[in-house]
Amino acid sequence: MVLDSNAVRSVDRAAALLIALGDSPGEAGVTELARRLGLHKSTASRLLGTLQKRGLVEQDGETGKYRLGLAVIRLAQRAERSLDLGGIAASDLERLARLTHETIGVGVLDGDSLMTVAQADGPNLVAVGDWTGRATPLHCVASGKVLLASLAERDVLRIVRRGLLRCTDRTIVELEPLLEELARIRRRGYATAIGEYEPSLNAVAAPIHDARGNVIAAVDVWGPAFRLTPRRFPELGVQVRETAAAITVRLGGNAPEREPGPVPATA
């Protein structure tokens, strides 16, 4: 099929208008957009009108200025769901596995559980098995606690009221201690789990953000308790946060500012 050059030019200009609106701190007027893109005002107005019919932009009735429409949000959400998070994160997970000599995983919310969607194994002889596709409770694994810490309090309350499974004698199953733990996670930027799902496993995890700054996943480093000891947690916390930040950037987000130094983990 031969494409008309004028049609291609119009599509390119319409795409440029959408990108320009996305880069604007707020709404933008036709004159401003036309000047920024080097278009005639009439051309910009015509293209914006077409985009408005498709719901890709919206016009303020009072100011006459434009902003991105709901259709763009729906497309962005679908694009995020279709992203191969494991593939995007693979090189960063493998790098962290080589650096720490431990198992690295990425988990996402699956209902009220954590689903591991990718894993990279370190070069240690004592392996921990493949957890890809496995669902675990949120409250007793490090990545799950990272995701819990990102939820609204009403959702945390709903999960707690349904009842939390006590996997080991270290599992947090009461509301107040759990809320305190989630507050610590938000302050220091990473979570720890010390024998809370299985007595012999410890872990450290940090959040992965999307382009809008929302937590959409968590990356963790975990392994046998005799090897992954609490003494390593501050250093691992820094490393896992750096890896999560690198994946966030790959997803189009902004890496969080680095803190002066690691905050000691609370057992």
**pTM of the predicted structure, to 2 decimals:** 0.68
Give the pLDDT confidence score for residue 174 in this predicted structure: 96
Residue 267 has a pLDDT of: 36
Question: Residue 82: CB partners within 8 Å, gap ≥ 6?
Answer: none
Enumerate domains of the chain plus CATH numbers.
Answer: 5-77 (1.10.10.10), 83-250 (3.30.450.40)
pLDDT at position 258: 55
Q: What is the pLDDT of residue 81?
A: 54
Task: Give residue-wise pLDDT tens across range 198-236.
Answer: 999 999 999 999 888 999 999 999 999 999 999 999 999
Q: What is the mean pLDDT of residues 236-244?
A: 97
Report pLDDT for 261: 45
Distance CA 37, CA 154 (A): 45
Element (H, E) at 222: strand 215-224
Lowest mean pLDDT among 119-128, 153-162, 185-194: 119-128
Q: Is the pLDDT of residue 160 over 90?
A: yes
Average pLDDT over residues 146-164: 95
What SS3 class is residue 81? helix
pLDDT for the residue 183: 97
Tell me the helices (H) and strands (E) count for the chain, helix number first. 9, 8
Half-sphere exposure of 126 (CA within 13 A, CB side): 9
